[in-house]
Amino acid sequence: MSEILRLTSAAWSLFHILILFMFFYSPRFSRKKTTIITCATMVPLVIVNALLLVLLERAVYGKLILLLLVIPSFAFFFFLAKHRDFRFVFTFCLVDTISAELIIISMLLNQYITPESNIVMFAIRILGFPLVEYFVVKKLRKPYFEIQNSVKKGWGTFSLVSVIFYVLILVMTAFPTVITERPNDMPIMLIFMLLMPLMYLNIFQILHHQNRLNTVEREQELWQIQSSHMQKQIASMAEADKRVSCERHDIRHRLQIIDVMLQKGEIKEAREFISSTHETLQAPTGLVYCKNPVLDAVFSFYFKQAQDKDIRIESTLSISEELPADPSELSIVIANALENAIHACEKLPQEKRVISCRCIEKPQFMLQIRNPFDGEVRLDAEGFPVTDAKGHGIGIRSIRSFCERNHAQAEFKIEDKMFALRILIQK
């Protein structure tokens, strides 16, 4: 019975280490594809290790676990990971050290409470792993993903610390024999077990602080973009006001002409002049691109700016008043994308200058802006354009921030010297 409890708790631990890791890391494939690949690869690996645990002595398996389980699972999840850098290394060591701490605590308590039956070890692992997973999902998972997406620097140092702790815990647990067979080493092991969570707590505090600094920086950049956008809107309104003033001035002259005609008794001519004036005033002063007034103002402003620079506009816009995102935020995204497209087209010969803008609302909101470009555009690991030019790249960060807040997807494509941005927003 004791051996059954030991083997069952070991298999349970292996299975839940896999689940715990799935909670902490971001795959680069879809959820369905990731699940299929993970089940096809990791389930057989876990089964093989469970069988080896039965066939081999506990001390022997403990010394081989690095080769039998740790390295294969590291290589597999590295292949699947979205962040294939030091962020993955830190996440892998974090999950394994959390699991190792729970496993070791159960072993030590079992050694002193029920050394002959393994009941305490079995109970702690059966209850402990679900409780840890519940805490991770409720408290750690969301902020940890935010930190991973926001903080790009410093992971190398944190990974080195986590790797050292991870290797130490493996060595101290299994070499030269299992820790439960070395009572003299217990005090050192207990101190180490207390030090490890304190170390991770300190790292998380540093990362959290850095994430807050990055958030403030992004908000300042967004305020700059909004301010620039508002200034352009004010300029557009000033231009419209100028046109109205001109019309008002012209109406005064027209009224004077009509008054002279009436004084001369030229009734027919006055009526014809009034009719032509009415047709002039009824003529549209500008195009309406969509029903939403905020987005229509953005399209009007940037399309006119493009046409003033001899850039041809090809637009197919199907946008109603109701949008799946805040119109002011979406207008900033469109403004950034069109502004970048205009800058790219300015560098090209006039015959190659064209911007294609297309938007549909069904089955989901999709906006696509395409333009030719000259030069080279680099994409980072997440598919976003990157630039080394000082003062540039703020617009792309604004688009990324919009997508994160609105659960939208931004896709950048480069084909045959054509740059395309596609944004999908789920309703």
* Residue 398, in any domain of the structure: yes
Side-chain half-sphere CA neighbours of 169 within 13 A: 26
* Residue 287, in any domain of the structure: no
In this prediction, residue 357 carries a pLDDT of 92
Decide which of 220, 248, 264 is a domain's last residue. Answer: 220
Going residue by residue through the chain (427 aa), what tens digit of pLDDT does each one get?
A: 777 887 788 788 888 888 888 888 788 887 788 888 888 888 888 888 878 877 777 667 777 877 888 888 889 888 888 888 888 889 888 888 888 888 888 888 888 888 778 888 889 989 999 999 899 888 888 888 878 877 777 888 888 988 888 888 878 887 777 777 777 877 888 888 888 888 888 888 888 888 777 777 766 666 666 566 666 655 655 665 666 666 666 777 777 777 777 887 878 877 877 777 666 655 555 566 787 777 888 888 888 889 999 999 998 888 887 888 888 788 888 888 898 899 889 989 988 999 999 988 888 889 999 999 887 777 776 677 776 555 555 667 778 778 877 888 888 888 888 899 999 887 6
Decide which of 169, 190, 220 is a domain's last residue. Answer: 220
In this prediction, residue 368 carries a pLDDT of 92
Regarding beta strands 418-425 and 385-386, do their DSSP bridges make them parallel or antiparallel, or are they unpaired?
unpaired
Strands (E), 3-109: none
Same-domain status, 22 and 169 = yes
Same-domain status, 154 and 235 = no
Same-domain status, 200 and 170 = yes
* Residue 75, in any domain of the structure: yes
CA distance 302 to 291: 17
Same-domain status, 315 and 419 = yes
* Residue 262, in any domain of the structure: yes
Same-domain status, 60 and 110 = yes
Q: How far, rounded to the nearest angstrom, does the alpha carbon of residue 23 sit from its chain's CA centroid? A: 16
402 and 330 in contact (C-beta within 8 Å)? yes
Give the global pTM: 0.56
| CA proximity to 158, closest of 103, 205, 216 | 205
Same-domain status, 211 and 309 = no
* Residue 288, in any domain of the structure: no
Question: Residue 330 belongs to a domain with what CATH number?
Answer: 3.30.565.10
Same-domain status, 371 and 249 = no
* Residue 9, in any domain of the structure: yes
Query: DSSP letters of 23-42?
Result: HH--BSS-HHHHHHHHHHHH
In this prediction, residue 340 carries a pLDDT of 87
* Residue 94, in any domain of the structure: yes
Decide which of 178, 197, 220 is a domain's last residue. Answer: 220
Which domain range does residue 253 map to?
228-282
How many domains, in total, are found in the chain? 3
Same-domain status, 298 and 275 = no
Same-domain status, 347 and 387 = yes
In this prediction, residue 249 carries a pLDDT of 64
Same-domain status, 149 and 257 = no
In this prediction, residue 372 carries a pLDDT of 92
Helix (H, G, I), strand (E, B) or coil at 423: strand
Same-domain status, 232 and 216 = no
In this prediction, residue 355 carries a pLDDT of 93
In this prediction, residue 282 carries a pLDDT of 56
| CA proximity to 8, closest of 97, 106, 77, 98 | 106
Same-domain status, 188 and 331 = no
Question: What are the tokens at 204?
Answer: 């998380």
